[in-house]
Amino acid sequence: MKIGIDLDDVLCDYATAFVKYHNDTYSTTLTKADIWSYNFWDVLNISREEAVKRVYAFGRSSKMMDIDPVPGAKRAVDSLLARNHELSLITARDADFSDITHHWLARHFPGVFSDIHFVNHYSTTTAPRSKGDVCREIGASMMIDDSFDNAISCHGVCGSGVLLFDAPWNANKELPVGVHRVFSWYDVLEKLT
């Protein structure tokens, strides 16, 4: 089966790293639990333009390479490969972060993904794409993500469904049939057996 996998907060603990960077840089006291939306301008009560500027500053900092993998992700991904699944990375990151993303993946998940797609959700220069469109284009049967909006865009496209990692930004969302909440990579592997 071809499986699309998100990067931030599915394979790497982006929110924790961003919160630490933001607190250190802007003297805030955020926690991961405070990130109730990936529209950081709403969470931080700043303009969209300023939020994008801060995300880009974090993305260009050395802190991006220091992001830890999500617990259990490496072992689970190896297990999926051993079961002969084909894995595609589909990330909301902008293509502007392609180099650092490839370097991070080479360090933590070398040779795992058959293809990598950037959908440019925070881009200032490129129109964003939906992950559902990417899943349709590449023939993904399943998507693993942490964004409710991305899960909905993939819902109905991925014939085997969508696995949604539980997170503060999706905790209060009612999931449609075919979108399943998971709490760890162990849960992911259980759903796929």
Whether residues 103 and 55 fall in one domain: no
CATH code, domain with 107 = 3.40.50.1000
Which tens digits make up the pLDDT trace of 108-120? Answer: 999 999 999 999 8
Which tens digits make up the pLDDT trace of 41-52? Answer: 999 999 999 999
- Those residues whose C-beta lies under 8 Å from the C-beta of residue 100, and which sit 6 or more positions away, are 59, 64, 65
CA dist., res. 119 & res. 86, Å (int): 20
Whether residues 104 and 178 fall in one domain: yes
Confirm if 2 and 86 have CB atoms less than 8 A apart.
yes
Of the candidates 69, 68, 121, 66, the residue with the CA atom closest to the CA atom of residue 95: 121
CA dist., res. 45 & res. 34, Å (int): 12
Please give the pLDDT value at position 126.
75
CA dist., res. 76 & res. 109, Å (int): 11
Which tens digits make up the pLDDT trace of 127-172? Answer: 789 999 999 999 999 999 999 999 999 998 998 999 999 999 999 8
**Buried b vs exposed e over 14-34: b needs ≥16 C-beta within 10 Å?**
bbbbbbbbbeeeeeeebebee
Whether residues 185 and 155 fall in one domain: yes
Whether residues 47 and 123 fall in one domain: no
